[in-house]
Amino acid sequence: MSPIIAEFIATFLLLLLGNGVVANVVLPKTKGHNSGWLVITTGWGLAVFTGVVVAAPYSGAHLNPAVTLGLAVAGEFAWAEVPGFVGAQILGAFLGGSVVWLMHKDHYKETNNSTTILATFSTIPAIRSPFSNLLSEIVGTFVLVFVIFFISDGQLLGDSNTPIGLGSVGALPVAFLVWCIGLGLGGTTGYAINPARDFGPRLAHTILPISNKGTSDWNYGWIPILGPLLGAILAATVYLLL
């Protein structure tokens, strides 16, 4: 499998399972309705595990433009390959969010709350404050990328033939890392920590004929894109200075 296809499929699975658990928790009349934040954060951690397992042998399993950017800034990933990886990640996320909607169409029809509907596609801040929200995304993504550099240090130094990315770290450690970020840092914005995770499904929300949907809130949509990118650049810079 080519690295680009691997990134597309793995990011599709990430969003199918990640946004799927959000839909299961917040949409009415599902089996998991109102099961809470712990279920959501656990589901996202396991979704990352699934995506990494699939893509690791082929692309290193970035699954996230912020990870791709951070590796490029650190000199561990070719800049020429960045656009292809990011494009595949966004398309995979778009498709994953779309399939979640298709599976839950009957449940979307049961809610008139447009905010609840949007939450199954993209992140929404608990308290809207652009500076604080941006800072939350920067900090969460900094932790993600910075820790990845350290727990994959041997691979970054060339001790493995595994492509550099989350896959060189191992699926289980990354799953626990994302789970921990969600539990510890995710309550303010919903922890996008991944521009594709937010942008792809938000675009799907804009395009799809979803029952009772409201605005896609593009006024906020720049924060879960810029914040993770800044966090990744900061993490790579600090790592290189150490």
* pLDDT tens digits, 80-98: 999 999 999 999 999 999 9
The 10s digit of each residue's pLDDT in 184-211 is 999 999 999 999 999 999 999 999 999 8
Shortest CA distance to 68 belongs to which of 59, 56, 77, 57? 77
The 10s digit of each residue's pLDDT in 3-16 is 999 999 999 999 99
Neighbour tally for 124: CB within 10 Å: 16
d(CA 26, CA 194): 21
Spatial contact of 196 and 225, defined as CB atoms under 8 Å apart? no
**Contact residues for 125 (Cβ-Cβ < 8 A; gap 6+):** 133, 136, 188, 189, 190, 220, 223
d(CA 174, CA 180): 10
Shortest CA distance to 199 belongs to which of 178, 177, 226? 226
How sure is the predictor about 70, in pLDDT bands with cuts at 50, 70 and 90? very high
d(CA 221, CA 216): 8
d(CA 187, CA 125): 8
Give the per-residue pLDDT at 167: 60
Question: And the tokens for 219?
Answer: 């006024």
Inter-CA distances, 187 with 95, 190, 222, 238, Å: 26, 6, 19, 25
The 10s digit of each residue's pLDDT in 37-60 is 999 999 999 999 999 999 999 998
Give the per-residue pLDDT at 164: 61
Spatial contact of 10 and 54, defined as CB atoms under 8 Å apart? yes
The 10s digit of each residue's pLDDT in 130-178 is 999 999 999 999 999 999 988 776 454 444 555 666 665 678 889 999 9
Query: What mean pLDDT value characterizes the chain?
Result: 93
CATH fold for domain 3-241: Glycerol uptake facilitator protein (1.20.1080)
Full DSSP string of 142-160: HHHHHHHHHHTHHHHTT--
Spatial contact of 3 and 85, defined as CB atoms under 8 Å apart? yes
Its pTM stands at 0.94
d(CA 190, CA 122): 9
